[in-house]
Amino acid sequence: MNDYSKLMSGARVVITNGRRFEMKVYKGLHEIKKPFHRPALTIGNFDGVHLGHQALFRRVVELAGPRNGDTVALTFEPHPMKVLRPQNPPKLISTMDHKVELIAEAGIEHLIRLSFTKELAGTSAHDFVNKILHQTIGVEDLVVGYDYAFGKGRKGNISLLQAMGSKLGFRVHVISPVSVEGMVVSSTNVREYVTLGEMKKVRLLLGRYYQIHGIVQEGIRRGGPVVGFPTANLRIDKEDLCPKPGVYVVQVIYQDQCYGGVMNIGYNPTFGGQDLGAEVHIFDFEKDIYGHPIKLDFIQRLRDEKKFAGPKELAGQITKDAEASRLVLAKGKSNM
């Protein structure tokens, strides 16, 4: 994989297919010293940065380009539902770091990470538009989704934005729902298909593979010595959006290199496990990566997790899973 990013002095630098983007990240309105230059702006949580979000970013770039204006996105941290509904917040599709990386790859030059608090939630729609969008950001073109609502009690809507835009001098552009193969693209639908293990549908909605990031953990170390297949183990927290337990074909990205692999998410019933975990056997890989970060692209779900009679039977099944995974990965490369 040729893509990488790094945070330097508040800027996210991303190189994608040989093209370089630099996005400045603002950790609050206080870091914005003056309004942006003739900006086009979009606002949202952007969880997953799916095809619907990407349509918003494309429109921002299209609007700002002819006048050499700034492209700006405003997002919230944490997700508003973690503040408004802390007893049952949504499981997030992407971490903030991953979201920042994806927004930079979309060509956005400025990202405002606004801290979402109960105080902000209590801001009236009029104040949000006048004080933040108009006075602080200086918006000229505002791009929003068809169902956008904001402000205290979510009383702000597109009609209000259009009315205030006419008064304050900015235009409002509404992006229609995006559908692919009969599926409406939304973060809610992405979450549903991830939990069902429908990774092909997830890829259609995201426009890329579903990816998780993690640090390789110390495991029981029976994968290699006992079963014959060494694995890298990742911890799964209860807040994580976890694919349905089972065996998956994956791509493993380590230090900007991509490797094939087969991954099991589950409870390891053959050895009497009770905690949900994830372990991946990486093909043609012999490095010690304990404590190192890796990324995992989920390509396809192969089967449910099963309990086997013992290590020998389990090893035989993993051999079959690895062969099936290699075929899927080879087929994918031939279709690129």
Which among 194, 293, 268, 278 is positioned nearest to 235, based on CA atoms?
278
Q: Is the pTM of this model over 0.85?
A: yes
Enter the CATH code of domain 4-180.
Answer: 3.40.50.620
Banded model confidence at residue 199, pLDDT cuts 50, 70, 90: very high
Average pLDDT, the chain: 88
DSSP 8-state assignment for residue 106? T
Q: Residue ranges per domain, the chain?
A: 4-180, 209-334
User: What size, in residues, is the chain?
Assistant: 336
The whole-number pLDDT of residue 36 equals 98
The whole-number pLDDT of residue 8 equals 37
**Is the distance from CB of 199 to CB of 301 less than 8 angstroms?**
yes
Phi-psi region of 245 (alpha: psi -120 to 50; beta: other; left: phi over 0): beta
Which among 101, 100, 107 is positioned nearest to 74, based on CA atoms?
100
Enter the CATH code of domain 209-334.
Answer: 2.40.30.30
Q: For 244-265, what is each residue's pLDDT tens digit?
A: 999 999 999 999 999 999 999 9
Sheet with strand 11-16: strands edge to edge: 4-8, 11-16, 19-26, 110-115, 71-77, 40-43, 141-145, 171-175
Give the integer Cα–Cα distance in Å for 325 and 336: 17
Q: For 28-51, what is each residue's pLDDT tens digit?
A: 999 999 999 999 999 999 999 999
Question: Who contacts 2 (Cβ-Cβ below 8 Å, separation ≥6)?
Answer: 15, 16, 17, 18, 256
Neighbours of 257 (CB within 10 A): 10
Greater confidence, 238 or 330? 330
The whole-number pLDDT of residue 223 equals 46
Q: For 203-255, what is each residue's pLDDT tens digit?
A: 999 999 999 998 998 765 544 444 568 889 998 877 789 999 999 999 999 99
Query: What six digits make up the tokens of 225?
Result: 């010595």
Read off the pLDDT of each residue in 268-286 and give the average, rounded to a whole number. 78
Q: For 134-165, what is each residue's pLDDT tens digit?
A: 999 999 999 999 999 998 888 899 999 999 99
Which runs of consecutive H residues, i.e. helices, occur in 73-136?
Answer: 80-84, 96-105, 118-121, 125-127
Does the pLDDT at position 172 exceed 90? yes
SS3 22: strand
Which among 235, 311, 247 is positioned nearest to 277, based on CA atoms?
235
**Is the distance from CB of 165 to CB of 172 less than 8 angstroms?**
yes
Give the integer Cα–Cα distance in Å for 103 and 43: 12
* Helix, strand, coil percent values for the chain (each to nearest 5): 35, 30, 35
**Is the distance from CB of 96 to CB of 27 less than 8 angstroms?**
no
Greater confidence, 196 or 240? 196
Sign of CA dihedral 39, 42, 43, 47: negative
Query: What six digits make up the tokens of 197?
Result: 């293990």
Q: Which of 5-14, 89-98, 214-223 has the lowest mean pLDDT?
A: 5-14
Give the integer Cα–Cα distance in Å for 321 and 58: 40
Read off the pLDDT of each residue in 293-309 and give the average, rounded to a whole number. 91
DSSP 8-state assignment for residue 102? H
Sheet with strand 232-235: strands edge to edge: 210-215, 293-303, 246-254, 257-266, 277-282, 232-235
